[in-house]
Structures are given as C-alpha cells and as structure tokens.
Structure 1
Amino acid sequence: MPLYQQMVVQLQSRIESGEFGPSAVLPGELDLSRDYGVSRITAKRALDELAEAGLVKRERGRGTRVLERPGSTTMRTSIDGWLENISLMQSTTEVRLLSFDYLNAGPDIASALELPEGAEVQRSVRVRTLDGAPMSYLVCFLPGAVGRSFQAADLRSTAMLKLLERAGHGVASARQTVSATLAAPDTAQALDIHAGAPLLEVRRIARSADERVVQYIRALYRPELYHIEMSMTRKAGPDGPLWSAEEGVS
C-alpha cells in the first residue's frame, strides 16, 4: 500500500477513535512527515485524501480541522445472539450479491467443511448495506449438495440461514472466532473504505442437527457500523472475583 494511503488509514482510525474529535486541529504537514517518517509531499497527499473523503477541512492559515459528522446508524448484536437475527437483518439491511459460483474446494475450505479436497462447493460473495452504507462483506462456502437447493436469485431476497432451513439444513450449532484484520483492495472497494482500513473479522462454521457442517462463512464488518455488546457481572470464584457474561444480553 502506498505510504500516503497508510497514513490515511491511520489518521482516519485516530479520528474515529475520538483521539481527534470534531473541530480538533490535526498535526501539520511538517509534524506528520516527522512523526510518520515520510516526505512532506506524502503527508500533504494524505491530508488532501482525508479532505476529499469529507472527514476534515483544510484552510490556509488555520490548518486541518476535523469535521462534525452526522451520527451513523449502527447495527448492534450480543454474543449470545450472534447467529444472525434473520428478521432483523432482512428488515434493516439490504444485500447485494457480488458473485455466485461452484468450484473445487482447496485444502482450507475442504477442511472447514469437512469434505474431501477437490469436492464441489458453492461460493457466494455478498455485501450488506445499512441505511445505504456498506456494512459487511460476506464470503460464504456451502457443500455442493447443500448449495444446489437454491439459486443465486434467492440470495438477493432471502437470508442464507433461512434458505438453509427451507432446504432442510437448519443450523443447530456453530463455532466461530472473532478477530481483527485489514481491508484488502477488493474488500475495501466493496465496502467503500480505504485499502488497509481495520475491519472486524468473524469466521463461523455452522452445523445441522446431525452434526454435518453446512456452512463456512468469513464475514468482514466495518467496526464503526457493527458493534458487539456484552454485559458482565463480577462474581465470586474459587480463586477470587471473576467476570461472568450475563444471560439474555441484548
């Protein structure tokens, strides 16, 4: 990634974290070039990019000020309600199908779906938008036999979990990991963000009631539009006080 783009991502992150709040003045080109170890031209281009994105306003003699932005709608979910609330997703977001095809599973996908390497799998790539803003980038793999139960057009109007239920492959359990990653160029373009921007990454393997793996999904979320909430209570434990997640968090 070009140096100026790396600076844009880092400065945007500092703005969104509140380090530089509305009306705050960002460091000047000379200070940024020294702090980031880049040329003044690179620092200037990074600030110009932030201005073009509507995050800051540059004024001669007054510096670069952070602009006040209208609060964006945020999708919130709890740990215990992580498996998509189908009705909520369908009523509050829109989906755009970027690709839909069948291919032979490589080692990683075959392992996740517990299939032989080279087995047929369905791959779909979707973007969900919230109030017109791209919120998530979803790459989903299904065993070929499961995927053949619906068509690409169905994914444009119906949530994946609902389609699986209709086909008799309802999800009974799932295991997932949550981590952080950086946006690759194609993902960044789909989510309307800069390449290298931070994203929340969720990988989930879902099983049907008979313990068969029916879905492997990698979901990438814009952290300013998708939040995970958890309420916790401090309780006494054998080795001292422990934090415990409350049941029924919403």
Structure 2
Amino acid sequence: MSKVAKHQQIATDLLQKIQDGTYPPQTLIPREVDLMATYGVSRPTVRQAIQSLVDQGLLEKRKRRGTLVKQTKIEQAFTQVVKGYNDEMHANGLVPQTKVLLLQAETATATVAQNLQLAVGAPVIKLVRLRYANGQPVVLITSYLPVLDAVDLLTVDFTQAALYETLATAGLTVDHVRRRLDVLVADETTADLLNVNQGAPLFYFHTQGFTPQSRPVEYSIAKYRGDVNYFVMNLQRATK
C-alpha cells in the first residue's frame, strides 16, 4: 500500500496533466464531482488536492465557474542586467518572436527630446514591436532612436535583428540603462494587441539606454502583461 496520502497522489497526477498540456493554461480542470468519480475518493480529499495546487500558484478557484489552470509567468531579469528580449526568453526555455507594427521617421516631441537629449522637433526613428513567447503576446514596446549616420535604421528587419546589437554595429553600445516602473491598465488598443481584457493590469516600463559615455541612444516604453510576467530584483543593504 502506498504511504503517500491519497490527496497528494491526486495532486501529483493533476500536476502532471498540467505540465503535459492535458489541462492547458486558462482552461478549467474537471469538476470536483468528476474528480471524485475518477479517483474514487471523497469531496474533502479532492478539495485538499486542489488546494495544494492553488497554494503553489498553479490553480485558481473561480466562483461559479470552477478551478482554472493559471498561466505560467515568465521571469524577467532585465531589472538587474542589460539583456536582450530574445536572451531572456531563451533563458526561460521559451521561443521568442517579434512582429514589427511600425517603423518610421518622426520628429521628437518634448518628452522624446528630453529623454534622448535632442532638440524638440529633431528627427528620430519610431519603432513599435509586439513581442511573443511561445506564440503568446507578452509585451508591446515603443522605442524612439536617434537618426544614425552609420546605420539606416529604417532598412533594418527588426523581426530578426536585435535593437542593441544593431546600435552596437553603429558604435553605440548600450552600456547601462535607467528604468522607471509604473503600473497602469490596458486601453482598448493595447488590450487587443496583447490579448487581454480592457482594464487588465500592465507593467509599464520607461527605459533610457546609454552608451559608456552616458549618451542616451534609446528611449522605450514597454507595456508588459501583468498576468504572464514577473520581475526579479536583488537588493543589498546600503552601507553607512
């Protein structure tokens, strides 16, 4: 006879079904009464098994709907290091993809000019990308870049080319960045692009990318889905 408690056996089996895709993210697992019949156990045993997976952040109970498989969140470490999106996704075992929504020349607004240390009305390049992980939209990024002599950014295929690598070919290596984090809700357009409900929470990052000489060569606004991303920050106690 197995020494493992019945609710733990059921929880392990449910976990396996979540991991192998039998119960995909954002779908409901079978009802309690169906699980009782499948495993030949009482309702309290089924509820104990489900609760253990809820406590692990794998399931979510929805009133009047049932129990939902939660979307696995992606660890984003760019709050700690300067790292490209593709590298982040590969580190998480995910397949990145980029769709370019807009690439055009514009004139700098006051906000863009301030962040790139340009004159208001100076020519800039605007790049809007929708970035995916395993086919799922994860983040909408709008970037503003100075016009470069060494590289015509309007001819670059940013579905394949990495922005920081492209800047590096022009002798503008992004050495350090400044990021500001806000939280906002998705408007109708953003919600449609990111495949979330209007009003869903988003992480809202403003980024300035600097060369080793502290010249700003990138100003980006990134809207990350709150339901599939989390961010890691390591802090040390300040010395007196």
* TM surpasses 0.5: yes
TM-aligned CA deviation for residue 67 of structure 1 = 3.9
> Which residue, out of 174, 182, 185, partners 1:171?
174
- Contact between 1:180 and 1:198, CA under 8 Å: does it hold in 2? yes
User: In 2, are the aligned partners of 1:98 and 1:125 still within 8 Å (CA)?
Assistant: yes
Summarize deviations over 1:184-207 as a string: whole Å, max 9, x none.
Answer: 222111101122211001101111
2:60 alignment counterpart = 22
Contact 2:103 2:154 in 1 (8 A): no
Report the structure, 1 or 2, having the larger strand content.
Answer: 1
Report the Cα distance in structure 2 between the residues aligned to 1:173 and 1:129, rounded to whole angstroms: 25
Give the total of aligned pairs.
182
Distance in structure 1 (CA, Å) of the matches to 2:179 and 2:150 = 21
Inter-partner Cα distance in structure 2 for 1:146 and 1:228: 36
Which residue identity is paired with 1:22?
E
Q: Decide whether the 8 Å contact of 1:129 with 1:135 is kept in 2.
A: yes
Cα distance change of structure 1 residues 186 and 179 upon mapping to structure 2, 3 Å threshold: same
Instruction: Provide the rounded CA distance (Å) in 2 between the counterparts of 1:160 and 1:236.
Output: 34
Work out whether 1:68 is the aligned partner of 2:105: no
1:124-163 CA distance string (max 9 Å, x none): 1101111111000000000122695334542110111111
1:9 maps to what in 2?
none
> Alignment partner of 1:164: what SS?
helix
Residue aligned with 1:187, SS: helix
After superposition, give the CA deviation of every residue in 1:53-106 in whole Å (9 maximum; x if it has no partner): xxxxxxxxxxx2144226435243263225436534477311010111011111
Which amino acid in 1 is paired with 2:81?
G
Is the aligned partner of 1:96 residue 2:99? yes
Mapping 1:127-206, distance limit 5 Å: 127-145=130-148, 148-206=151-209
State the match for 1:220 in structure 2. Answer: 223
Q: Distance in 1 between matches of 2:206 and 2:166?
A: 20
Identity %: 22
Deviation at 1:119, TM superposition (A): 0.3
Q: 1:236 to 1:212 in 2, by over 3 A?
A: closer
Q: Give the conservation status (yes or no) of the 8 Å contact 2:186–2:199.
A: yes
| More deviation, 210-219/78-87 | 78-87
**1:111 counterpart SS class:** helix
The CA distance in 1 between the partners of 2:150 and 2:189, in whole Å, is 24
TM-score, normalising length: structure 2 = 0.66
For the aligned residues, what is the CA RMSD?
2.9
Instruction: Name structure 1 gaps, 5 residues minimum.
Output: 1-15, 26-63, 239-250
- Match of residue 123 from structure 2: 120
1:110 aligns with 2:110: no
CA distance in 2, matches of 1:201, 1:172: 22
Between structure 1 and structure 2, the one with the greater Rg is 2
- Asked if structure 1 preserves the Cα contact closer than 8 Å seen for 2:82 and 2:176, the reply is no
Paired with 2:168 and 2:195, the residues of 1 have a C-alpha distance of 32
Cα distance in 1 for partners of 2:151, 2:110 equals 22
Is the Cα contact below 8 Å between 2:104 and 2:154 reproduced in 1? no
